[in-house]
Amino acid sequence: MRFGRVRIQQGDFYAELSGGQAKLLVGTPYETVAYTGEELALEACTLLAPAKPKNIVAVGLNYQSHATEIAMTIPKEPLIFSKFISSILVPGGVIVKPPQCERLDYEAELAFVVGKKCRNVRKENAAEYIFGYTCLNDVTARDLQKTDGQWARCKGFDTFCPFGPWIETEFDPTGAHVRAILNGKTVQEGNTSDFIFDAYTLLAYISSFMTLMPGDVVTMGTPGGIGPMQPGDEISIVIDGIGELRNTVGK
């Protein structure tokens, strides 16, 4: 099933998305799915980011190909950082290139959305705490990453976390094809079979030091092929079995 968040005249709602229709929900879809009874054409709605996380947890160097690309040692444990919730951008929204940034990069990523409050989850039980999966662009000010020596600013600007367009609950995160398409050309391509740490390992590891809440987003790293975007570009993150997250770049 696909779930998202939509904006209509009456306000913002979670919705089940199917067959070009949005079936509005009462509350969130994480624990119990309840419908308002109202169903609208999806084209009559504005798609929002499909979750409202309290935390966005990100993983660096989680593809063998990316570690090789930047000549970094394969990590023995997941390399964790965070993105600010103020960086969230809606599907179709404009990524703003900050004046401080000289090189603005795309990073195509598979992300999962947490479905239950959890702490100290065992890897073998991790699947039951994952609500579903979505596309995410871990937008990065690459030059600032190098000068700062840490990642809070370079990955934390407003608009630097587009994700969506929805959450797919029936998705197999193993062997998933992930790619970035810039102005119609595939510029980054990878497969989650190249993951160093899989989704279940990551949820277990992250929940060993923090409480994850329903709606929290964990984004699982980018494959080799990162590169720059310019104002006026259109960037899409495409994951087979989920869909396409499309955004443009502005100034």
Report which of 108, 84, 141, 60 is spatially closest to residue 246, judged by C-alpha positions: 108
Residue holding tokens 């959305």? 113
Q: What is the pLDDT of residue 65?
A: 79
- Same-domain pairing of 175 and 90: yes
Structural domains counted in the chain: 2
Cβ neighbours, 10 Å, residue 1: 13
pLDDT 10s digits, 207-228: 999 999 999 999 999 999 999 9
Pair (38, 72) in one structural domain = no
Same domain, 137 and 182: yes
CATH code, 147: 3.90.850.10
Cβ 134 vs Cβ 105: under 8 Å: no
Are 105 and 187 in the same domain? yes
Are residue 40 and residue 63 in the same domain, yes or no?
Answer: no
Residues 39 and 63 in one domain: no
Contact of 2 with 16, CB cutoff 8 Å: yes
Residue 167: give the domain boundaries.
56-250
Q: Answer yes or no: do 138 and 18 share one domain.
A: no
User: The pTM is what?
Assistant: 0.96
Q: Which pLDDT belongs to residue 128?
A: 97
